[in-house]
Chain A
Amino acid sequence: MRFTGDKVFKVLVAVIAASALAILIITGYTLSVGSMPVLQKFGLNFFFGQQWSPAAGREIFGLLPYILGTLATSGIALLIGVPLSLGIAIFLVEMAPRSLRVPISYLVELLAAVPSVIYGLWGLFVFRGFMVTYIETPISKYLGWIPIFSGEPGGLDIFTAGAILAIMIIPTVASISKEVISSVPNSIREGAYSIGATKWEVIKRWVISYGRSGIFGAVILGLGRAVGETMAVTMLIGNATSFSAMPTSLFNPGQTLSSLIASGILDASSPFAYSAYIGAGLALLFMSLIINVGAHFVMTRVFKVKGGAIE
């Protein structure tokens, strides 16, 4: 009896712990099976086609505009969000007086607590107006001749969606960068200060360079967040479909994989259309997996957590 109790317990929790694996397998399997119809009909064209037309009998589905849209919005998010996050992380670790560190980190963490749909609501009624008046219109006025800034800025476009994503990835990128920067050994900073480097030089030439792979990991995780973010993007990107969703100008409406699914799936009217949306989910799953596996390798190498267990 002594041993059986413990054995039963061990097997029980081991089986329950497999739920993580089960979730992953169920997700992969369901999405693969669900997208079979479109994959069989269109093959690789499903990923590289541009047209999206659910007209019964003449259905044609291609994901390229949404894959590119996802990359474009995430790219904007990284371009804006990463420098901001690094600035915040550096400020918190290297500059802020101790009394400010905790409250500021807490405020930045709170950004992550706000639900995506509330970002969307705020984006729709507050941020959009700000973007149109103070950012997009001036850019369009002076730089409108550059193709990516062409078109009439309306605020429901790729640029606004990317900008709100930039805000949303700040907590992720800033908090990991903060950890990375604080894990840079003090002996390196001291060595650098001792040869007469200024604080900025110490950070730029030594701290950032020592922590570069960790910061890279933070950026990848931020990318992961941006790629999958749904509600705020769906509400702000303008929900274009088919050819017009190709991200040609930042000031045009676009669509990402996630916003395509969220805005369209309830209107899907044929089994083929369902399958196409599920296929979009599969494409998003692939992107997410690649990004997360990449981040995992970078981060484990950086922090040398061998699975993080107690030795």
Chain B
Amino acid sequence: MTTLAQENITTKPSQVFQEIDSNAKMQAINVDAWFGQKQILKSVSLSVKPHTVTAIIGPSGCGKSTFLRCFNRMHELVPNAKMVGQILLDGKNIYDRRIDPVQIRRRVGMVFQKPNPFPTMSIYDNVAAGLKLTGVKTGKSLDEVVKRSLEQVTLWDEVKDDLKKPGTSISGGQQQRLCIARAIALQPEVILMDEPCSALDPIATAKIEKLVIELKQTYAVVIVTHNMQQASRVSDYTAFMYLGELIEFGETGQIFENPKNRLTEKYITGEFG
């Protein structure tokens, strides 16, 4: 296999989002990230528009998950992890000293690669957990939020009689929808999804994909996926990352039908990955 260097393909990102984008819900500006000495992200910039689905694709190890985790300050939870740059939420830098990550994470929800419902909590408590932390909602109004959240992820009918059962007692696809319900119960503004279907079967995957498209009516969604078909089915914008850099970003149709960068083209056509 010929290496990229031999083909003289530039991997320099097109840094077009240096300016503050007033239309963006979230915007990453020149984000660098490290694990210890190893640099994972190199000056990545990207903006996420409200009511859209943005997909991040790229071969494994390209830094797409790390990038996603910078959006709700989960990256810094890993020991030795470091991040430099800005990420704006409604124009305000979430890495500002005065801002607490705890509050950011309530506004920017996250769904993980493997469904991770809380095993010690019931289905009901899984959805209610975030709200119980602040104690703002109790009793009836809490019940309503739980019901509405479960309905939104089309799980209500399947579990309404089993709300007391542990969150881990349902199938993998249901668990993942439960995790989405857990995130939207807090009424966040943005939902981050880190390869949410990679552990699921095709039918469960189809349900989640349908859900993702519905979610964008209310939220801005950023989804990391290694599945290009999935990106083209659900997203409005697509970003292609390679070796920690953002290679190309644009409308999904353009990226998949008419990529500007040869590297993107090679990845899309399956020449490497």
Q: Select one of B79, B119, B183 contacting A188, CB under 8 A.
A: B119
Docked Cα-Cα span, A198 to B77, in Å, equals: 12
Docked Cα-Cα span, A195 to B110, in Å, equals: 8
A59 partner residues in chain B, CB cutoff 8 A: none
> Taking chain A's interface residues, is the majority helix, strand, or loop, or is none over half, making it mixed?
helix
A4 partner residues in chain B, CB cutoff 8 A: none
Binds A, one of B3-11, B100-108, B207-215: B100-108
Q: Select one of B74, B120, B179 contacting A193, CB under 8 A.
A: B74
Docked Cα-Cα span, A194 to B118, in Å, equals: 12
A197 partner residues in chain B, CB cutoff 8 A: 102, 129-130, 133
- B74 & A194 in contact (Cβ 8 Å cutoff): yes
- B109 & A195 in contact (Cβ 8 Å cutoff): yes
Which of the four size classes fits the interface of chain B?
20 to 34
Docked Cα-Cα span, A250 to B179, in Å, equals: 51
A152 beta carbon closer than 8 Å to chain B: no
B102 partner residues in chain A, CB cutoff 8 A: 196-198
B165 beta carbon closer than 8 Å to chain A: no
B116 beta carbon closer than 8 Å to chain A: yes
What residue in chain A is nearest B132 (Cβ atoms)?
Answer: A205
- B106 & A191 in contact (Cβ 8 Å cutoff): no
- A206 & B103 in contact (Cβ 8 Å cutoff): no
Q: Select one of B105, B114, B120 contacting A195, CB under 8 A.
A: B105
What residue in chain B is nearest A201 (Cβ atoms)?
Answer: B133
B133 partner residues in chain A, CB cutoff 8 A: 195-197, 201
B182 beta carbon closer than 8 Å to chain A: yes
A188, A190, A196, A201 — which one has the most chain B CB atoms within 10 A of its CB? A196
A209 beta carbon closer than 8 Å to chain B: yes
Given the known A-B contacts A98-B79, A190-B77, are A196 and B130 also in contact in the complex, defined by CB atoms under 8 Å?
yes
B112 beta carbon closer than 8 Å to chain A: yes
What residue in chain A is nearest B117 (Cβ atoms)?
Answer: A191
Docked Cα-Cα span, A79 to B77, in Å, equals: 33
A192 beta carbon closer than 8 Å to chain B: yes
B120, B179, B183, B186 — which one has the most chain A CB atoms within 10 A of its CB? B120
B47 beta carbon closer than 8 Å to chain A: no
Q: Select one of B79, B103, B110 contacting A194, CB under 8 A.
A: B110
Given the known A-B contacts A188-B118, A210-B119, A210-B120, are A195 and B186 also in contact in the complex, defined by CB atoms under 8 Å?
yes
B72 beta carbon closer than 8 Å to chain A: yes
Q: Select one of A193, A196, A201, A206 contacting B118, CB under 8 A.
A: A206
Within B161-216, which residues are at the interface with A (CB < 8 Å)? 179, 182-183, 186
Docked Cα-Cα span, A152 to B112, in Å, equals: 61
A19 beta carbon closer than 8 Å to chain B: no
CB distance from A294 to the nearest CB of B (A): 22
Docked Cα-Cα span, A193 to B106, in Å, equals: 9
- B112 & A191 in contact (Cβ 8 Å cutoff): yes
Given the known A-B contacts A98-B79, A196-B102, A198-B102, are A191 and B116 also in contact in the complex, defined by CB atoms under 8 Å?
yes
Docked Cα-Cα span, A190 to B103, in Å, equals: 15
A98 partner residues in chain B, CB cutoff 8 A: 79-80
A206 partner residues in chain B, CB cutoff 8 A: 118, 120
1/0 per residue, CB under 8 A from A, across B109-142: the answer is 1101010111110000000011001000000000
- A195 & B112 in contact (Cβ 8 Å cutoff): no
- B116 & A187 in contact (Cβ 8 Å cutoff): yes
- B116 & A188 in contact (Cβ 8 Å cutoff): yes
The 4 closest A-B pairs by CB, nearest first: A195-B130, A196-B106, A187-B116, A194-B110
Q: Chain A residues in contact with chain B, CB under 8 A?
A: 98, 185, 187-198, 201, 205-206, 209-210
Q: Chain B residues in contact with chain A, CB under 8 A?
A: 72, 74, 77, 79-80, 102-106, 109-110, 112, 114, 116-120, 129-130, 133, 179, 182-183, 186
Chosen A-B contacts, 24 in total, with CB atoms closer than 8 Å, are A98-B79, A185-B116, A188-B116, A188-B118, A190-B74, A190-B110, A191-B117, A191-B179, A191-B182, A192-B118, A192-B129, A193-B105, A194-B105, A194-B110, A194-B112, A195-B105, A195-B129, A195-B130, A195-B182, A195-B183, A197-B130, A198-B102, A201-B133, A206-B118
Known: A191-B182, A194-B105, A194-B183. 14 other contacts (CB 8 A): A98-B80, A191-B112, A191-B116, A191-B117, A192-B129, A193-B74, A193-B105, A194-B112, A195-B105, A195-B133, A195-B186, A196-B133, A206-B120, A209-B120
